[in-house]
Structure 1
Amino acid sequence: MKIFFSTVTGLILFSNLFAQQIQLDSLDSQIHQLIKDFEIPGLSIGVIRNDSIIFSKGYGNLEIHKEGKIDENTIFGIGSISKSFTALTLGILVDEGKVDWDDKVKAYLPYFELYTPYVTDNFTIRDLLTHRSGLKDVSGGTLWYHSDYSREEIIKRLKYLEPVSGFREKPAYQNVMYVVASEIVKEVSGMSWDNFVKTKVFDKLKMNNTTSLSAERESSSNLAQPHIWNEDYEKVAIKQEIGDNLAPGGFIYSSSSEMSNYMRLLLNNGVIGNDTIVSPKIINEIFKPQIIYPIGGAPFYNEFTSYGFGWWLTPKNGHKIIEHSGGIDGMSANLVMIKDMNLGFVILTNEAEEPATFLLTAKILEQLFNDESYNIYARVLDYRNKSLKRRKESPSQISKTINTKPSLELEKYVGKYNDKMYGDILINNIKSGGLEITFSHSQVFKGKLEHWHFDTFKIDWNDIRVPNGFLTFNFNSKREILGFSIDQENLLDVDFGELNIVKK
């Protein structure tokens, strides 16, 4: 009885101390300031402590210049936070004794193949979740980004990706490996990963509006619309990505209120209410450092930052910060948990500027830890505004060389080209004159070609989210076209430098 009284007294003291550290009224005013400074169309936030939601609120609009308001139930794209759900689905299967973290991928997916037989045969589920494939960062992005490739077809094309380091030598962030992980869930469970995560996780957590399927998402009347900068540096709404083929790695849509239930589950060691979703052993493994992976510097990360299964893990001020960010076209998100405080928060926005979500994260952590190193708001805002002003006044441009012409008549450039990983890429004539490029499996990559100099053409992509790039045709000594290369600013998780495009 005496021990029980001491424990309760300690909890009350801790609760009072916490209440002094985080000021919810102050947080509300800081969010309003953030929205104003960064011109954020809308934002939603949820904060939990001791298995209770203590703050849950929406701000702004579903779409800029329109009336629909955001609340705590508005659904947003959570981006790469989706990876943690895929890790959890595998954890459920491990709990059931149906798979092991160190099982070989090939045992479940015979068609899985990477750059060498040794890597293919020895690649494990643990490797899938910890970004140690040996491939470059976000390798294979052109396979899934706005493409019609299925998850299985994406996996079958991974064999063409080239490594940049040794297998398990060092980390490099991947999306496609979580697609592979989801297909193992499908193979073992006998149901699609989407159905598995819905029945085994979403339904049990009362995450009734959370979905990995674009059709379900689009049927919602409380869906935030994504926003990006246009060429005049005005924020405009864009069409949602479909994203179903990468849902296990980046395309779950959820709300701050429902993600708060997810945090409650994780911080309560796999239990929600009276229902055990997964054992504490699995939660501990998911939150255990698997590979050292410092992705940045102070105040958020340090030399001891590591990656678990779908989570970055960083020791800070005697605490263990468990977090992951997420970004897709026109959306950004951040989720942070501090397990020893039994506290977590999630921030969802319908715009693409990730510094905004991180600055709000920094404000909260500054209060929690009473740590001035997180006081970076003014510096980041000043840098952002100066950078934006510079880009508006002096947009970067590769100078056009006048009085030059292509080596061949335009008709000679028309044809079918191919990258063995991606597939066919077409160069066609257009009725108004000139040339057009079309990626056969990704309609977002379609645009007009404007002659720039010699055999280089400027690509004016039709879709606003794709910045203009340049295409240069390559020749042999007989002036025969061999193929072309694309000099293109990388999109979020798409690297055109991986493509080796040859004429068929």
Structure 2
Amino acid sequence: MEQFSSETRYTFPSGSTATFSAGWSFDFERSVLSSPESDLNLYFFEDAFDADVEALALRYWKKVNPDFDWKVYENASFPGSDGWSVIHQISYDVPVRESQSVFAVVRVVDEKAFISLAEGSAAAFGRRGAQFQTALYGWKPAGLKKEALGERTAKLFDDTLQNEFTELVNRLMTDLQIPGASIAVISDGKIVYERAFGVKQLGSPDEVQNTTPFMIGSITKPLTTLMLGKLVELGTITWDTPVQTLLPDFTLADKNLTSKMLMKHTACACTGMPRRDLFVIGPEDVSAEDMIVQMASWKPTTGFGETFQYSNELVAVGGYAGASAYRRSSSLFRSYQQAMNDLIFMPLGMHTSFVKPSPEQNSSLAAPHAQDFNGTMTAIPQAIDNMVYSVAPAGSIWSTAGDLAKYVLLELNEGKGENGQQLVASDQIQKRRAQGVKISDTAWYGLGLGILDDRGLQAIGHNGGTFGFSSDLWFVPKDRLGMVVLTNAGMSHAFHDIVRQKLMELLYDAEKKSEERIISVLRREEDGLKQAHERVKTQPTDIEWIKEYVGTYHNGELGVLEVKMLNNDIVFDVGRWSSTIGSAVEHDGDKLIALTAAPWSGSWEIMVVNKPKKLILDFGQHKYEFVEAQKD
């Protein structure tokens, strides 16, 4: 057993290699990598490929643990990439109360299988996920022939290529039920393609226009750090300014970390502070100030600078701190609105972008959508996505593909606007792109920007997702190329992935994988829907037992929710949104409440305790217990 004191590229006896992070331990005899807390294990095996991948994986699980008896929940196959011919992932049916994930990944090349077995607590995958991915997906055989695009030069995106691209987008929107989309492409440093597709809301004839705003989710982050970079240029702040200097009320449960927190750390995803995104439950009017008060009880779960952990709240703190230094207003939210308008939207000519729409703008917006329990795309209440306004600098901006293309041009032009004027200093543009903490073996996080080695091309950008919207923005500085894709459909990242792949095929002659990916996505969606219906039952007799849990429940951090009867239905109600309920039954007979309305659609399962009555929401690193209020 060896514990690594620094990141190490380990070579297996076969010649294959993998990257192991500092603090992890490797047992050479058992071929298992273990996390620093010893609650996550990753095994490595090589064998001849067997078409019965479930049997192949089980054979090695039995080698690891003769008593292994988890049943297969899902066996999914994915088109090959990065030199692999095909990739299989097998997940196992572990009861929710175990709070564990167990799965196998079998990657195949030249009829040889590289078998990875993973088991660990949900909390471990949450805090060590990036280091785990680095080891898992960075494991490669000697001589693996990856596609190499770095030495190629992008073609111009001419009319012929645009027509082929548009044809794919139209087909994909139908196949994947995307209601509306807004897409822009930058080629050779110019916006050459800006198109709107579909409708603003299903059931309405109003078509998406180039001026239709979409919620862009986490693409807000690079815009926020651009604003902070401008403030550094102006001398208002520095990246090394302590956060508490600007926001005296900001504090964490770890006082040492509080004092160490500089402005650059709010956007680096490197502080050890975990993700806590359950503000979808609780009152809609939570303010930025309320959020900062809540953070006083929060603690890091990994060491400072140790690994990638994504925190929307910390990015929000940085955005609010910088904005309040620029112009203190009646609230942190209003200060942020003012800073973004003055320093980003107006100078860049982003006239259809805003932090939050006014009542007069509501009719112009795209509406949020998600798939329901039957797999049909449907509109969902905007109130569900309004959760983001308390963390506005991390994810609340509305924009269009055309406006965001202007931002991409600014990045490609090293801070210069369309007229050649230097709007943001070039050193601040570069500062945000510097490789920081690792996300995987080929990806890093800067300051609100992801940096990806995409088959030898350096691609920079960010994606975003709320419950009813999905977005993607990226650019290749070498070729002055970029793309923005916005959709009014939650969890539609498969659409974005295929659209991006198609553009790479057209401009770089990348391997033709887009058609194969469409088939794969549709097959997995069909299989997933079947599995959901097998697991979650919604007939009155199936959910009768839930009536025992009708009542009002309280959690000190998230507030109040209800399980109640409404027109003979049992409903889960948090105030600003509600959902119908189904019953999920584990193989050991344990029962859970499953939310079945879109966007949850059976995927959100809630544990129950009878005495005293509790509802338990498990989000890996955090469990939230809602205790039944005493009845009069």
Q: Do the aligned residues in 1 keep the contact of 2:608 with 2:616 (CA within 8 Å)?
A: yes
Q: Do the aligned residues in 2 keep the contact of 1:417 with 1:483 (CA within 8 Å)?
A: no
* 1:444 matched residue in structure 2: 577
- Say yes or no: does 1:362 pair with 2:501: yes
Q: Secondary structure at the match of 2:156?
A: helix
Q: Secondary structure at the match of 2:292?
A: helix
Structure 1 position 383, deviation (Å): 2.4
* 1:118 matched residue in structure 2: 256
| C-alpha distance in 1 between matches for 2:584 and 2:471 | 40
> What do residues 254-303 of structure 1 show as CA deviations (whole Å, max 9, x unaligned)?
11111111111121111111432210010010111122222xxxxxxxx2
Task: Label 1:22 to 1:199 Cα distance change in 2 as closer, same or farther (>3 A).
Answer: farther
Task: Give, as a single letter, the amino acid of the residue that structure 2 aligns with 1:64.
Answer: L
- Residues 63-462 of structure 1: matches in 2 within 5 Å? 63-136=201-274, 138-142=275-279, 147-191=284-328, 192-215=335-358, 219-240=361-382, 241-242=385-386, 243-272=388-417, 273-294=419-440, 303-316=441-454, 318-352=456-490, 353-372=492-511, 375-394=512-531, 395-397=533-535, 414=551, 417-419=554-556, 421-422=557-558, 424-427=559-562, 438-439=573-574, 443-444=576-577, 458=593, 460=595
Q: Do the aligned residues in 2 keep the contact of 1:427 with 1:435 (CA within 8 Å)?
A: no
Task: Label 1:21 to 1:414 Cα distance change in 2 as closer, same or farther (>3 A).
Answer: closer
| C-alpha distance in 1 between matches for 2:203 and 2:180 | 11
CA RMSD of aligned residues (A): 3.6
> What do residues 190-231 of structure 1 show as CA deviations (whole Å, max 9, x unaligned)?
241111101211111221111111326x62544222221122
* 2:198 matched residue in structure 1: 60
Task: Give, as a single letter, the amino acid of the residue that structure 2 aligns with 1:83.
Answer: K
| C-alpha distance in 2 between matches for 1:259 and 1:250 | 14
Q: Do the aligned residues in 2 keep the contact of 1:48 with 1:55 (CA within 8 Å)?
A: yes
* 2:600 matched residue in structure 1: 466
Task: Label 1:285 to 1:430 Cα distance change in 2 as closer, same or farther (>3 A).
Answer: same
- Say yes or no: does 1:485 pair with 2:631: no
Among 607, 621, 624, which residue is 1:499 paired with? Answer: 624
| C-alpha distance in 2 between matches for 1:102 and 1:144 | 34
Q: Do the aligned residues in 2 keep the contact of 1:286 with 1:309 (CA within 8 Å)?
A: yes
Q: Do the aligned residues in 1 keep the contact of 2:156 with 2:188 (CA within 8 Å)?
A: no
Among 156, 159, 167, which residue is 1:29 paired with? Answer: 167
Task: Label 1:106 to 1:385 Cα distance change in 2 as closer, same or farther (>3 A).
Answer: same
- Normalising by structure 2, we get a TM-score of 0.65
| C-alpha distance in 2 between matches for 1:143 and 1:227 | 16
Structure 1 position 391, deviation (Å): 3.5
| C-alpha distance in 1 between matches for 2:315 and 2:217 | 13
Task: Label 1:361 to 1:415 Cα distance change in 2 as closer, same or farther (>3 A).
Answer: closer
Structure 1 position 145, deviation (Å): 7.7
| C-alpha distance in 2 between matches for 1:389 and 1:317 | 30
Structure 1 unaligned runs (5+)? 1-13, 295-302
Q: Percent identity?
A: 21
Q: Do the aligned residues in 2 keep the contact of 1:144 with 1:154 (CA within 8 Å)?
A: no
Task: Label 1:452 to 1:431 Cα distance change in 2 as closer, same or farther (>3 A).
Answer: farther
| C-alpha distance in 1 between matches for 2:258 and 2:628 | 30
Count of equivalent residues:
462
| C-alpha distance in 2 between matches for 1:313 and 1:386 | 31
| C-alpha distance in 2 between matches for 1:346 and 1:435 | 41
| C-alpha distance in 2 between matches for 1:35 and 1:410 | 43
| C-alpha distance in 2 between matches for 1:34 and 1:47 | 18
Q: Do the aligned residues in 1 keep the contact of 2:569 with 2:580 (CA within 8 Å)?
A: no
- Normalising by structure 1, we get a TM-score of 0.81
Structure 2 unaligned runs (5+)? 1-151, 329-334
Q: Do the aligned residues in 1 keep the contact of 2:584 with 2:593 (CA within 8 Å)?
A: yes
| C-alpha distance in 2 between matches for 1:162 and 1:369 | 45
Task: Label 1:265 to 1:183 Cα distance change in 2 as closer, same or farther (>3 A).
Answer: same
* 2:109 matched residue in structure 1: none
Q: Secondary structure at the match of 1:53?
A: strand
| C-alpha distance in 2 between matches for 1:332 and 1:427 | 29
